[in-house]
Amino acid sequence: MSDWNFRPTQEFIHAIPKTDLHVHLDGSVRLKTIIELAERSGVKLPADTEEGLANAIHMGKPCEDLRDYLTAFNVTLSVLQDEYALYRVAYELAEDAAKENVRLMEVRYSPMLHTRRGLSLTRIVECVLEGLADARRDYNIVCNIIICGIRHIAPEQSMRLAELSCAYKNKGVVGFDLAGAEYDYPAKDFREAFYLVRNNNVNCTIHAGEAYGPKSIHQAIHVCGAHRIGHGTRLREDGDLLNFVNDHRIPLEVCIKSNVQTRAVEDVSDHPFKFYYDFGIRVTLNTDNRLVTNTTMTDEFMTAVDTFQLTAGDVRQLVINGFKSAFLPFHERQAALRKISQELDALLTEEAAKNNSWSKDEKSKKGQALNLPETSETKSASGPVAKA
């Protein structure tokens, strides 16, 4: 609608319902929680203050590349090796998201990275499910899990995780992913794991086109059968593949601030997000890692608004894209879309009215400053005053 062509404020972005479909559990832990968990379990951290720890994990700071970025997870994973820790960080992540009006979140992590103290893969999944379930009860946020295979660990281990995804289908696990260092670890090496999850009708998404070119995206889609693509930053380098993604409505899980931090793009203004959006790609905005990138969903939207001059109408479409792309059964997704569309339209209409009221007040003040009588012309956006 033409009334929605105003620039949305941070307060408005915070207030609207949102999704976060690409968020890593082990990259989204509160600094205070890391310190407390370390004290509880006797883990030595690289720093014992929040400021020192933030520096140690290059929180929000540019990294050399994706591999350098991933070193921060050595710190977070060191304290996420028992039931209490997994439950707590899952609950707190959902709580933090709900407090900025994220209504639907798909949390991803790799259970095999949490077995150092003898926890079974099944118990690791259940602890996180329990934390998310309690947060849903307390904050009314829908939270599901995506289990991640890891590129730099043997494909046989990812097969075990694929089996885990199938076992917990319809029990809170909604998808399977392939994460980790992209260069030198092609998705095609994990085709058997994805063959298993697809044969069990489990959704799948794959990190691709972040630290490697469009060939990685091609393998994710055509060899592994990905239903969504994590990042997809370098998709623009292959026009034919770009059109295939667009034609088949394959969503991109875009994480702008993270992509700048890992140097997938040199500067936020270089990010292909706006090109993808204008071209018609189903792009969604996501946090990736709230802690490591020092971000929120509100921050991600405001970064896009400020960098690419998005309107409130653009923001509405991006929110809708998020709900359309969620790994939910069709009828649940349609019900959610109807409800969210109505809520968005009500908030947009209210915000547009505020903007129109402010605009009229400003024009009236300008007219009075010029000692002009307040006529129908000075109240209008057109006429002699507007031309002056």
The rounded distance, in Å, linking the Cα atoms of 72 and 291 is: 10
Phi and psi, residue 272, nearest 5°: -80, 5
Q: Clarify whether 374 is annotated catalytic.
A: no
SS3 for 46?
coil
Do residues 117 and 70 make contact, with C-beta atoms less than 8 angstroms apart? no
Do residues 106 and 20 make contact, with C-beta atoms less than 8 angstroms apart? yes
Residue type (1 letter), 145: I
The rounded distance, in Å, linking the Cα atoms of 36 and 112 is: 23
The rounded distance, in Å, linking the Cα atoms of 269 and 266 is: 8
Residue 25: CB atoms within 10 Å:
25
Q: At what angle do helices 312-325 and 330-369 cross, to 10 degrees?
A: 170
- Catalytic position from the list 126, 210, 300, 351: 210
The Cα diameter of the chain in Å comes to: 80
Give catalytic residue positions: 210
